[in-house]
Amino acid sequence: MTQLKPGEVSLGTTIMAVQFNGGVVIGADSRTTTGSYIANRVTDKLTKVHDRIYCCRSGSAADTQAVADVVAYHLELYTAQHGEEPTVKVAASLFQQICYQNKNNLSAGIIVAGWDKVDGTSVYEIPLGGSIHKQNFALGGSGSVYIYGYCDKTFRPNMTKEECVEFVRSSVSLAMTRDGSSGGVIRLAVITEDNVERIFVPGNQLPPQYLG
Amino acid sequence: MTIDTDFEKVFPITERTYIGLAGLATDVKTLHDRLRMRVNLYKHREERVIEPNTFANLVSHMLYEHRFGSYFVQPVIAGLNKNDQPFICSMDTIGCIDLGGNFIVSGTAAENLYGTCESLWEPDLEPEELFETISQALLNAVDRDAMSGWGAVVRIITPSGIITRDLKSRMD
């Protein structure tokens, strides 16, 4: 596994994905850093790889963009070749193949989430080494370490969509406050069978919390 | 990891001279304590308060004493001398005094601050206008630095007194 090269842009980051009945909510902060300089404070780390399959990217910005592009290409080809939409499992598997086979050259922590007609909603986490973990909710990025306790305490299976959105909003907000590499605005996406709804939370509308 | 969100790093030396210490927190505390002692000794011996210019030389000397094994701090000094003339300077970690010009910057967001100060500063600002200028320069520079933020304190030193204000800023 490589460290980021000097001058390389990092998605410091807090990312998470949470499943609910009928869909999945994914969320991320918006900070990209080069060292300690904030190169982009309004980044979109929620990347579409297929109509109802999104990934959350953390680690090296270049590495994750490149890998996501390759997977998006393969998923488009899959639809043409198989005559049906790929499942989230297939997408996660593709991510995993690339991340594992190139583990010595990549610095990419990815969460894949979405809806398909075979399994319904799924959330898969692919951390640095290229292992794959199917979970009810997944956290990633440097900021995630600050919110494991909060998330373990707050998450319940079978929450409603509104409860999930609030859960992701408050968790990412807490991480953004404590992690230097996370910050800016919160971007959320709610993926259901019918559509993908994008939600934007500006920096001055974060949920209230104790601020020292 | 953010571990302290109200760490004071600007300290009064006399009623009209302040020092800001940016860098390693343990060295900030130690240097502040040592400087306080030296300034108090100066006051006893000289029977007057230390001038900002003299204080700057004192700090510079103390930093150079540790030339090979330095304190990891980059001080900024601001004050009014006995003729009410403003004095500002900064130093590197081993005590090189930079008298600068119209403004002085330091810290992890120093490069950002050069940009904001250069654009916003103009001569002959009144105290309230200067407060606006320095606040905007600081806040906007710090918002582009992952290692800075979580609030700010601005002090304007005038012959009639010190105006201190806490700024509300991004908390990320």
Per-residue pLDDT tens over the stretch B9-29: 999 999 999 999 989 999 999
Q: Tell whether B124 is within 8 A of chain A (Cβ).
A: no
Q: Which residues contact B114 (CB under 8 A, 6 or more apart)?
A: B105
Would you call A47 a catalytic residue per the annotation?
Answer: no
The per-residue pLDDT string of chain A (212 residues; one tens digit each, 9 = 90 and over) reads 567 777 777 778 999 999 999 999 999 999 999 888 899 999 999 999 999 999 999 999 999 999 999 999 999 999 999 999 999 999 999 999 999 999 999 999 999 999 999 999 999 999 999 999 999 999 999 999 999 999 999 999 999 999 999 999 999 999 999 998 999 999 999 999 999 999 999 988 888 888 76
Nearest CA in chain A to B4: A212
**How high is the pLDDT of residue A11?**
72
Q: How far is CA A139 from the centre of its chain?
A: 8
CB count in 10 Å sphere of residue A109: 25
| pTM score over 0.90 | no
Under an 8 Å CB criterion, which residues of A touch B?
Answer: 12, 29, 31, 33, 36-38, 41, 146, 176-184, 203, 211-212
**A183 to chain B: which residues are within 8 Å by CB?**
146, 170, 172
- The predicted structure's pLDDT at residue B83: 96
The answer to whether the CB atoms of B144 and A41 lie below 8 A apart is yes
Nearest chain B residue (CA) to A184: B172
The rounded distance, in Å, linking the Cα atoms of A51 and B58 is 66
Nearest to A141 by CA among A81, A59, A64, A71: A59
The reply to whether B168 touches chain A by the CB within 8 Å rule is no
Residue B5: which pLDDT band, with cuts at 50, 70 and 90?
A: confident
In tens, the pLDDT along B111-162 reads 999 999 999 999 999 999 999 999 999 999 999 999 998 889 999 999 999 9
